[in-house]
Amino acid sequence: MEKIRCDLLVIGAGSGGLSVAAGASQMGANVVLLEGGEMGGDCLNYGCVPSKALIASAKVAHGMTTAAPYGISPRSPEIDYAAAKDHVKQAIATIAPVDSQERFEGLGVRVIREFGRFVDHRTVEAGQHSITARRVVIATGSSPFVPPIPGLEDVPYLTNESLWELRERPSHLLIIGGGPIGMEMAQAHRRLGCRVTVIEGGKAFAKDDPETAAVVLEALREEGVEIAEDALASAVRKDGPNLTVETEDGRSFTGTHLLIAVGRKANVEGLDLERAGIKRTKTGVDVDDNLRTANRRVYAVGDAAGGMMFTHVAGYHGGQVIRPLLFALPGKARTAHLPTATYTDPELAQVGLTEAQAREKHGDKAEVARFEYAHNDRAIAERKTAGLIKVMVVGGKPVGASIAGHQAGEHIALWSLAIANGLKMSQVSAMVAPYPTYAEINKRAAGAYFTPRLFGNDTVKKVVRLVQRWLP
């Protein structure tokens, strides 16, 4: 067994692990990177990239059928599902070199294509390699969670990992799970000509603001996506050539294919964490605010840390741990400014507190500034008027924003910036957006916060009248 010593060992080559490995190596650290699966992790190979590529194909198909309001004769598209999957593979292949073993070896990182496991507090074995590191970062990502539904083990089903190998278009796709993954794939497949039924045990988009979630749910239902809420799956069975999902309340749903999209679980099995003195939680590795484990030599980032499971969060974590790893400086990870986005059409985005959370935490001090897409000139010109923005404000500063509408995932970044830097609503209001753009929605929301203070304030009116009397 080859014995290796290094400054930093990174376990996992997904977004978080690659961020840490690239940054540390380019700043002079001796870095070893372990990856037993695909370079680029879930995001590149099974998650963000392929899903957004398929959504793009679906959007083109949908545009052909909904062109009449723009003065264009609508057409029924001839959809080649396998060719759409080829588009997905091309997108992955185009991005893959950025995450490749060759690129990281070019950056000075030693890449070992093996899974690792701890043997003591600072040593990890991977294949025929024994690696002793000054510091270790666990960045092993997550995998689809498959619930223990009776009968599920006896029927064929898809997850976000196996979906991309499917070449034949489903006639009727059943999706268990009404969260972001389930809803994105529901709309995409409906637009690609599938019948789609979403089976959700609680409320769809349960973690999002109910008012903004309702905008998206209405749009999906109008497109023909069947959404069954409060429908907890209790059994799955093979029904001839089809599959049937039964729910606790007695309903049943039959389709040709089944996608499981109920959430994700951290990939921490097989790491032998206990040998390194590392504790686990129900959701992943137990870390403090600095992303450090009970073993002070070891950190965990991204999905492995058991918090918000998003690629951009993993990248953020990677940047935060560089400070303590390389410079022995504190690098506390915060969550208040971390946004989320669901890439349905219209999109759904959130950062910080929802309205309910803000009122629960801050009581009467919480105010809500709102603006409707229907009053944005660009949205009117492009017929993208469904949606709204809500900004939760305490003491003149935004503490959260909820957006449903066209490009909501783009707009939420401004509010992440504001919350991260403690900006005031007056500073956001001072922004000048080009006309006509959707970006004006953010500015108008900030303006809505000041409207009652300026235009509904008798004191302001009295001051204006007084000043006018004295003006020459």
CB 331 within 8 A of CB 156: no
- Give percent helix, percent strand, percent coil of the chain, each to the nearest 5: 40, 25, 35
CB neighbours of 104 closer than 8 A, spacing ≥ 6? Answer: 13, 18, 21, 22, 25, 33, 39, 111
pLDDT (0 to 100) of residue 461:
83
**Together in a domain, 140 and 196:** no
Q: Is 263 helix (H, G, I), strand (E, B) or coil?
A: coil
pLDDT (0 to 100) of residue 331:
80
Bond into 346 cis (ω within 30) = yes
pLDDT above 80 for 456:
no
**Together in a domain, 8 and 114:** yes
CATH of the domain at 445: 3.30.390.30
CATH of the domain at 30: 3.50.50.60
The answer to whether 282 is a known ligand-binding residue is: no
The answer to whether 180 is a known ligand-binding residue is: yes
What is the rounded average pLDDT of the residues 218-241?
97
Helix axes 180-191 and 48-65, enclosed angle (nearest 10)? 40
CB 423 within 8 A of CB 449: no
The answer to whether 179 is a known ligand-binding residue is: yes
The answer to whether 138 is a known ligand-binding residue is: no
Q: Is residue 471 part of a domain?
A: no
Give the number of other Cβ atoms within 10 Å of residue 2's Cβ. Answer: 9
The answer to whether 116 is a known ligand-binding residue is: yes
The answer to whether 142 is a known ligand-binding residue is: yes
**Together in a domain, 184 and 282:** no
Last residue of a domain, one of 234, 262, 290: 262
* pLDDT tens digits along 393-417: 999 999 999 999 999 999 999 999 9
Side-chain half-sphere exposure of 23, counting CA atoms within 13 A? 21
User: Distance (Å, rounded) from C-alpha 265 to C-alpha 122?
Assistant: 25
Q: Is residue 409 part of a domain?
A: yes
What is the rounded average pLDDT of the residues 15-20?
97
Bond into 436 cis (ω within 30) = yes
Helix axes 440-455 and 458-470, enclosed angle (nearest 10)? 80
pLDDT (0 to 100) of residue 452:
86
The answer to whether 229 is a known ligand-binding residue is: no
**Together in a domain, 192 and 232:** yes
For 106, counting Cβ atoms within 10 Å of its Cβ (0-12 exposed, 13-18 middle, 19+ buried), the class is exposed
Location of structure tokens 């990174």: 10
**Together in a domain, 287 and 363:** no
The answer to whether 97 is a known ligand-binding residue is: no
* pLDDT tens digits along 363-397: 999 999 999 999 999 999 999 999 999 999 999 99
The answer to whether 129 is a known ligand-binding residue is: no
368 has which bridge partners? 392
User: Distance (Å, rounded) from C-alpha 149 to C-alpha 141?
Assistant: 24
pLDDT above 90 for 458:
no
- Structural domains of the chain, count: 3
> What totals of helices (H) and strands (E) does the chain contain, helices first?
14, 21
Q: Is residue 74 part of a domain?
A: no
pLDDT (0 to 100) of residue 466:
86
Q: Which residues of 167-197 are buried (b: 16+ CB within 10 A; e: fewer)?
A: eebbebbbbbbbbbbbbbbbbbbbbbbbbbb
What is the rounded average pLDDT of the residues 414-432?
97
Question: Phi, psi (5° rounding) for residue 70?
Answer: -95, 5
Q: Percent of the chain scored above 90 by pLDDT? A: 94
pLDDT above 80 for 105:
yes
Give the number of other Cβ atoms within 10 Å of residue 219's Cβ. Answer: 17
What is the Rg, in whole angstroms, of the alpha carbon atoms belonging to the chain? 25
pLDDT (0 to 100) of residue 100:
98
For 82, counting Cβ atoms within 10 Å of its Cβ (0-12 exposed, 13-18 middle, 19+ buried), the class is exposed
**Together in a domain, 12 and 138:** yes
pLDDT (0 to 100) of residue 453:
84
**Together in a domain, 198 and 117:** no
The answer to whether 284 is a known ligand-binding residue is: no
The answer to whether 168 is a known ligand-binding residue is: no
Range of the domain at 215: 152-262
pLDDT above 80 for 457:
no
**Together in a domain, 312 and 350:** no
**Together in a domain, 385 and 424:** yes
pLDDT above 90 for 469:
no
CB neighbours of 369 closer than 8 A, spacing ≥ 6? Answer: 390, 391, 393, 425, 445, 446, 448, 449
The answer to whether 69 is a known ligand-binding residue is: no
User: Distance (Å, rounded) from C-alpha 402 to C-alpha 415?
Assistant: 10
User: Distance (Å, rounded) from C-alpha 231 to C-alpha 376?
Assistant: 37
* pLDDT tens digits along 108-151: 999 999 999 999 999 999 999 999 999 999 999 999 999 999 99
**Together in a domain, 290 and 400:** no
The answer to whether 178 is a known ligand-binding residue is: yes
User: Distance (Å, rounded) from C-alpha 205 to C-alpha 213?
Assistant: 6
List the beta strands (DSSP E) in 115-251.
117-118, 123-126, 129-138, 142-144, 172-176, 195-199, 226-228, 233-239, 242-247
The answer to whether 310 is a known ligand-binding residue is: yes
pLDDT (0 to 100) of residue 416:
98
Q: Percent of the chain scored above 70 by pLDDT? A: 100
Q: Is residue 382 part of a domain?
A: yes
Q: Is residue 332 part of a domain?
A: no
pLDDT above 90 for 245:
yes
pLDDT above 80 for 454:
no
CB 124 within 8 A of CB 10: no
